[in-house]
Every structure is written in C-alpha cells, then in structure tokens.
Amino acid sequence: MVKPVPLFRRTDLKLLLCNHKDLSFLRVSKLLDCFSPKSMWFLWNIFSKGTHMLQCLCGKSLKKNKNPTDPQLKGIVTRLYCRQGYYLQMHPDGALDGTKDDSTNSTLFNLIPVGLRVVAIQGVKTGLYIAMNGEGYLYPSELFTPECKFKESVFENYYVIYSSMLYRQQESGRAWFLGLNKEGQVMKGNRVKKTKPAAHFLPKPLEVAMYREPSLHDVGETVPKAGVTPSKSTSASAIMNGGKPVNKSKTT
C-alpha cells in the first residue's frame, strides 16, 4: 500500500513513499520552492501519473486490483489556484467562485481522468461536477454529462488551462475556458482568453486517489441546483449565443 506524505511550505522536498516493509526516499530538489509554478507542476506531474510513477520511484511492483468493480481511474485530490490570486471553490449549494483561504474544504476538487487529457472536475464535499452550458455559463451537475468534460492543457509557465470539450466559438473556433475575474467571480467561458491570468490555474495536488469511471448521462437528464443558472445546451441555443458544439473529428 502506497501512502502519500503531505508536503509543507519551505522544505527540501523529500518525497516519502512507504510500503509495509520499508521506506524509500527520493530527494526531488533541495532548493525547490513548493509553491512556485515549476515546483507545483513537477508534483502535479508525479501525482497525475498515479500508480505507474509510484512504482518507478519505489522500484517495486504494486499490487493491481483485479476486481472489475474496484475503482480503476487514477486521479488526484487537489486545489486549483487561479493566477488572479484565488482558489476555485464550490459552495454547498454548488455555486462557484474564488477564495483566498487555502484551508477550507470547499476548495478541494477531484480531478478524474475521463479521456486523453480530458478531466471531470468534481467538488469533494458536494459530489457535484463542474459543467459548462451552451451559453458559456458554469453550473454544478449532479450527473456526469458531456458538459462536464474539460480538456486539460499545459500553458506557458507551467499553468494549466481547462476548456469545454463540447462548446467553442462558432466563427473563430476559439475554445471556451474555465476562468475567474479579478474579483474572484466565475466568468462566462466565451469571455475567457487562454492568454489571460483568468484562465491560468495551478493544481496543488494533495493525494492520488482511485475513482470509478463516472456513468455518462445525457445533458437533458441533469437537474441544476436551485438558484444556479440552468443549462441551455441545445444546438439552437449554443449557436444563438455564439457557440457551437465541438466537431469531434477535429482536435481542440
């Protein structure tokens, strides 16, 4: 059994990996600052590789789950720090915004891999998925639908950007992004540019976790929480508001 050890602020960053019989130490970098984008990218890279990376670091084989009902997807529990100076958070009612408090549980998210460089972002405490509708609005979804899929791309300076897999700008083909403004409020996806700090997030992983593959539902099955902008994701409304469903034959 592999147990991740919490990493604290200024440290010489020894990543401790332990099993039942011995301890294996890996000195990552003596002078690396745990809160720099480069450092967090390095850690996020390790955590996102999951079991395979841990096996390589330990030099030992890890037991594989053979039960098909067991969780099979290796994701991470993380906080998402926006370059605007806020942590993305999901309130109990599913509302999204930013906070400067990095200790609240509302900032914890499950990043679940659901495709090649595609993730679902789920609030740890609420169990709700972040989704983007055909108008570019973000909303919480109880069910996992195509609107809950986000492409995860590494931008310059090791920041990560998340774009809708379903919608993009109709004429230009520009992607719609998850983003926070300078006041820490969520923005419409079609108003966020990937070159701006609003779209830049720095994952701060806490642990590797195993997830069951979420069942994919139709968008129409989702019932957004009361008080939150409902999904309007028909092709008509998407085109009317400047967006279009992504052509899956083209790369995003």
List the domain range (segments joined by +) for residue 228. 36-47+73-245
209 domain-assigned:
yes
**DSSP code of 62?**
-
- Predicted local distance difference test score (pLDDT) of residue 71: 85
Domain membership of residue 129 (yes or no) is yes
pLDDT of residue 251: 42
User: How high is the pLDDT of residue 64?
Assistant: 53
pLDDT tens-digit readout, 169-219: 999 999 999 999 999 999 999 999 999 999 999 999 999 999 999 999 998
Residue 186: inside a domain: yes
> How much is the CA Rg of the chain, to the nearest whole Å?
19
Separation between Cα atoms, residue 183 and residue 153, nearest integer Å? 24
CATH number at residue 239: 2.80.10.50
Q: Does any domain span residue 236?
A: yes
Q: Is residue 250 part of a domain?
A: no
Tokens for 191, please give them.
């108003």
Is the pLDDT reported for residue 56 higher than 80? no
Share the mean pLDDT of the chain: 77
Q: Is the pLDDT of residue 79 over 80?
A: yes
Residue 46: pLDDT over 90: no
Cα 224 from Cα 142, distance rounded (Å): 7
- Residue 7: inside a domain, yes or no? no
The count of structural domains within the chain is 1
Greatest mean pLDDT among 6-15, 69-78, 81-90: 81-90
Buried b / exposed e along 198-229 (16+ C-beta atoms within 10 A): bbbbbbbbbebbebeebeeeebeebebbeebe
Asked if residue 64 is part of any domain, the answer here is no
Does residue 158 fall inside a structural domain? yes
